[in-house]
Structure 1
Amino acid sequence: MIRSRRFLAVSAVSALLAIAVSACGGNSSGGTVGGGGGSKLIIGVDLPLQGASKDASEATVNAMQLYLEQVGHKAGNYDVELKVYDNSTAAKGAWDDATCAKNAQDHVANPGEVAVMGTFNSGCAKIEVPVLNSDPSGPMLMVSHASTNPGLTKAWDPGEPEKFYPNGVRNFARVIGTDDYQGVAAARFAAQDLGVKRCYVLNDNQTYGQGVAKVFAEEAPKQGVTVVGSEPWDLKQPNYVALFTSIKALNPDCIYLSGVFDNNGGQLVRDKVRVLGDNNAVKLMVPDGFSGYPEFNNLAESQGAYLTFSGLTAETLRQNGGAGANLLDAYKAKYGADPASSYALYGVEALQVILEGIAKSDGTRKGVRDQVFAGVTIPAEQSVVGKEVKIDPQTGDASVRDISVMQIKDSKETFVKPWPL
């Protein structure tokens, strides 16, 4: 299962800064700006390091750094370091549009940086990918472990995905399934396993939340579930008592909160229970935008809530053995607990894809991108997610499309079952 304990590697902020400083130290041998091509190359890591996502992001950085240490900081003939970028702000406590835009420019301008692992949030990825795509030295690769909005790789909203690739070639890949699969799985689980008949859908009015809500609301009626209402919640509201009072009149037996916990999710969950009753009386379902948040897990009002996760949990990966279990054991030995989020293992999987691209490349940004989009494969015995991972050279999507269903029990995300796709 995903552990909810907070942990810091010595001092989390110091550790992250140390990684960034170490990476910056490699810039002098990394070639000219935008070019790469030196013997020491840099992989940018672009995550929200402040606010509610802090635990998941720190765990991801720590897991990636641990894996890189295990492979001797090498990819083929190249030495590799990480440079960490924070795409959040203290004021917002979450990813920030302007910061994502600045990070994208900084990636392009950083000597020796040949690829980016990230972002965590799809909205941030949609800001950064076109900038990286427009890099004069050749589109700069981004591989995400968590950006699941379908429009980044396939037809979704108007103009997608073409508008993210002004150069006409793909430079965004991911190692996790997309929201269209997760929304379908959640609706089917609600109907078939929970017996839900009437569900109200709320979304956080952001790219990720809107996408998952859309698919859930479309699939639910096919499963015999009536969507009695659907609307965005205002993340700036001090409470949602009035909202849930109006929803109560519609007599729902399910509330689906589609979005990320950062967006006032704690208050939303508390007021849901306050007005509608606990999660046995009216089922509460959330997507993986609520996964990996100790604050959510520890809420009394979260107990009994169901989550879906677009991947396999740490508990499942450990039980399956292999490279993922070995990395989890090493992580626990070093940090005293499992990663705070299963996204950490997918961050390492994204790193494996980038390293494979680097190993086969000429060390330039264009070379790394070209190798990944030639169709990179990570064999099952090496893959930290326990399955062969192939990157589709046409779309950038991965061959693995697992969905896990979990439930909050005793303040922990407890694995319930895999959901077949």
Structure 2
Amino acid sequence: MNRTLLALALAGFALSAHAQTVVRIGHAGPLTGPLAHIGKDGENGARLALEDANAKGTKIAGQPVKFELVSEDDQADPRTATTVAQRLSDLGVKGVVGHTTSGASIPASRIYEQAGIPMITPSSTNPKLTQQGYKGIFRVIANDLQQGAAMAKYAGQTLQAKKVAVIDDRSAYGQGLADAFIDSVKKQGAEVVGREFTTDKATDFTAILTKIKGKQPDALFFGGMDAQAAPMLRQMKQLGMNARFLGGDGACTAEMIKLAGDAMSAETYCTQAGIPMATMPGGAKFNARYKERFKTDVQLYAPYSYDATMAFVEAMKAANSTEPSKYLPALQKLTMPGITGEIAFDKNGDIREGGVTMYRFRNGKWEALN
């Protein structure tokens, strides 16, 4: 090849590379602090999805695009979440996967809605998130009303619990889940003998548990995350409490088992939005790919984060545009097969078919009961 042809070839290559459109997708969750393992899990799911989309050579409106993940640490803090939301908006992301917790998602959602940037949370379950009337806020997981009702039904009908105590961490997630559980468990004929509150930073629950112990509940329900649920369970054991321990998806993690240690027993239960990884349409394959790529196990929300990210990609392809105002209608009408099941949203932005699974601790792991 002579110099002229070589120069033309190099120029053509440069032009081709320049023509590739870079599309930024944001991710927001706790990447530091006690919930970092959950936030990183979600980030990994989003990253794997964009790597897959890039590997397929995705084209939108006939143009090759390269997706980039822009991930921010909201520390699971409402104030930090709004700062992160503004930063992602200023960076020009075309969609946001997150936030991880409801306490972060709810205040951040207002900023995304004002900026016209759609947000899909893989894990925020407080019903209020999608009851604000926003057009661009979605979730790919069942909400607290469904989780609370499932645990309450199991506690009342299967465990035959007559007296229950409830603790929540006062976060939007924990309080919402606890409220939903109480509303439903009362319908099962159980008596709520105590309602106590803590924070999502606390580690000492001795005073609260001692107060509850005197009321001799059959079960204790905690609305919060594994970072509090695990020490709470250990302290229940130290106090000689025999109440069954019930939690939501925030406590339904591998980290919960690790942190709680020998306090875990066959009387420890949790709910998880969605279905077990083994029975997800693409669960087994995803789990293997995830472990190979990141050298660690899925914690909780990675497959939901993957599906949320792919929902953006598919909506953009359907609309032939990466601009939020143009692909949002396609996202609202989207129906696609996901790792976790069919991804399709109702008029509020909730997943249409969000199942809930009950788990019990057995043989060193969480085992599905339904």
TM-score strictly above 0.5: yes
Provide TM-score, normalisation by structure 2: 0.87
Aligned to 2:263: 301
Aligned to 1:92: none
Deviation at 1:298, TM superposition (A): 4.1
Q: How does 1:268-307 map to 2 (within 5 A)?
A: 268-277=232-241, 281-299=242-260, 300-304=262-266, 305-307=268-270
> Cα deviation per residue 1:394-417 (whole Å; 9 max; x = unaligned)?
211111221111123354222222
Match status 1:370 vs 2:329 = yes
Shift in alpha-carbon separation, 1:75–1:180, aligned structure 2, 3 A: farther
Q: Distance in 1 between matches of 2:129 and 2:309?
A: 19
Of the structure 1 ranges 348-357 and 60-69, higher mean CA displacement relative to structure 2 is found in 60-69
Match status 1:179 vs 2:156 = no
> Cα deviation per residue 1:340-386 (whole Å; 9 max; x = unaligned)?
22x1111111112111122123221212323212x11113xxx111x
| RMSD value, Cα | 2.2
Q: Is the 8 A contact 2:226 2:255 kept in 1?
A: no
Paired AA for residue 346 in structure 1: Y
Aligned to 2:97: 117
Aligned to 2:362: 409
Q: How does 1:147-226 map to 2 (within 5 A)?
A: 147-154=124-131, 161-162=132-133, 165=134, 170-226=135-191
Aligned to 2:106: 126
Query: Which blocks of at least 5 consecutive residues in structure 1 are unaligned?
Result: 1-27, 31-37, 89-94, 155-160
Match status 1:388 vs 2:359 = no
Deviation at 1:329, TM superposition (A): 2.3
Deviation at 1:222, TM superposition (A): 1.4
Provide TM-score, normalisation by structure 1: 0.77
Aligned match of 1:331 in 279, 290, 295? Answer: 290
Q: Is the 8 A contact 1:376 1:390 kept in 2?
A: yes
Of the structure 1 ranges 245-254 and 170-179, higher mean CA displacement relative to structure 2 is found in 245-254
Aligned match of 1:49 in 5, 25, 31? Answer: 31
SS of 1:395's equivalent in the other structure is coil
Shift in alpha-carbon separation, 1:312–1:29, aligned structure 2, 3 A: farther
Q: Distance in 1 between matches of 2:270 and 2:151?
A: 8
SS of 1:306's equivalent in the other structure is strand
Aligned to 2:305: 347
Aligned to 1:16: none
Deviation at 1:234, TM superposition (A): 4.4
> Cα deviation per residue 1:92-146 (whole Å; 9 max; x = unaligned)?
xxx12222111111111013x10000011011111111111111xxx11000110
Identity value in percent: 25
Shift in alpha-carbon separation, 1:110–1:208, aligned structure 2, 3 A: same
Q: Is the 8 A contact 2:200 2:224 kept in 1?
A: no
Q: Is the 8 A contact 1:29 1:40 kept in 2?
A: no
Larger radius of gyration: 2
More helix by share: 2
SS of 1:350's equivalent in the other structure is helix
Q: Is the 8 A contact 1:209 1:259 kept in 2?
A: yes
Query: Which blocks of at least 5 consecutive residues in structure 2 are unaligned?
Result: 1-16
Shift in alpha-carbon separation, 1:236–1:177, aligned structure 2, 3 A: closer
SS of 1:51's equivalent in the other structure is coil
Match status 1:104 vs 2:85 = yes
Q: Distance in 2 between matches of 1:176 and 1:274?
A: 35
> Cα deviation per residue 1:153-205 (whole Å; 9 max; x = unaligned)?
13xxxxxx24xx4xxxx110011111001000000011122121110011111
Paired AA for residue 50 in structure 1: T
> Cα deviation per residue 1:318-351 (whole Å; 9 max; x = unaligned)?
xxxx53332222223334553122x111111111
Q: Distance in 2 between matches of 1:285 and 1:75?
A: 44
SS of 2:125's equivalent in the other structure is coil
SS of 1:400's equivalent in the other structure is coil
Q: Distance in 1 between matches of 2:18 and 2:117?
A: 19
SS of 1:120's equivalent in the other structure is coil
Aligned to 2:12: none
Aligned match of 2:21 in 36, 39, 55? Answer: 39
Of the structure 1 ranges 200-209 and 301-310, higher mean CA displacement relative to structure 2 is found in 301-310
Aligned to 2:70: 83
Deviation at 1:266, TM superposition (A): 3.1
Aligned to 1:67: 49
Q: Is the 8 A contact 1:244 1:276 kept in 2?
A: no
Aligned to 1:251: 216
Q: Distance in 2 between matches of 1:205 and 1:121?
A: 12
Q: Is the 8 A contact 1:315 1:415 kept in 2?
A: no
Of the structure 1 ranges 187-196 and 51-60, higher mean CA displacement relative to structure 2 is found in 51-60
Deviation at 1:63, TM superposition (A): 3.0
